[in-house]
Amino acid sequence: MIPTLFREPFHRTGVNHAKRFPGVAAAIAALPVPTLVLDGEVAIFDEQLRSRFAWLRRHEPELLGTPPLLMAFDVLYRDGEDLTGRPLRERRHVLEAVIAGSAAVLPTRRLAADGLEAWAQVLARGYEGLVAKDDASPYRGGVTRSRLKVKVPGWTDSEDRWKRRLTGP
């Protein structure tokens, strides 16, 4: 989670990443709310718009499809109001309204509501996988049954410095 209270990107450990990602920090500062906490992650995308997290450490500029962006999953707090007890579907509407028009703070992609149709979209687009969430669930940090992460069997990230297999036996 990257809380963006005080208009700067912070890691959940408290590390401030404003100097490392000045474009993201400027985009957060330009959002039209005085206080805000988002759950999201900084990402860089290739020309096929697939996220390349290894490129956050080191990248080849000619292969970039985007500059660093904050991909927002959720909004937890806005203008003095704790939103974590509200259903995801309500928080998503708030999130989309708060970040509308930003070029560097974007909502994560939404796939079809039907699980099989969403999985077909993942495979067709070459994504690593998906995270399915219960639209009625309140926000819960950490491991929870209200969301499920599913990765494509055999999908590997060749840039991963540990060369680990992401799914499978």
Q: Residue 160 — very low, low, confident or very high, per pLDDT cuts 50/70/90?
A: very low
- Cα–Cα distances (Å) from 117 to 17, 85, 111, in that order, read 37, 29, 8
Say what the pTM is. Answer: 0.76
Beta strands in 28-153 (DSSP E): 36-43, 69-78, 81-82, 105-107, 129-133, 147-151
- pLDDT, tens only, 47-63: 777 776 666 666 566 66
* CA 144/CA 101 separation, integer angstroms: 31
For the chain, the domains span 5-151
- pLDDT, tens only, 72-112: 999 999 998 999 999 999 999 999 999 999 989 999 888 89
Selected residue with higher pLDDT from 87 and 125? 87
User: Which of 19-23, 59-63, 137-141 has the highest average model confidence (pLDDT)?
Assistant: 137-141
Q: Which of 6-20, 51-65, 136-150 has the lowest mean pLDDT?
A: 6-20
CATH architecture of the domain with residue range 5-151: 2-Layer Sandwich (3.30)
Check residue 77 and give its pLDDT.
Answer: 93
| Closest-CA residue to 46 (of 69, 73, 19, 23) | 69
Check residue 144 and give its pLDDT.
Answer: 77
Decide if 122 contacts 114 (C-beta within 8 A).
no
| Closest-CA residue to 41 (of 7, 76, 82, 70) | 70
Percentage, residues of the chain above pLDDT 90:
25
**pLDDT beyond 70 at 164:** no
The one-letter amino acid code at 146 reads: S
CA atoms within 13 A on the CB side of 141: 10
Selected residue with higher pLDDT from 49 and 7? 49
* CA 83/CA 62 separation, integer angstroms: 40
Helix, strand, or coil here: 55? Answer: helix
- Please name the residues in contact with 96: beta carbons below 8 A apart, sequence gap of 6 or more: 107
**pLDDT beyond 60 at 115:** yes
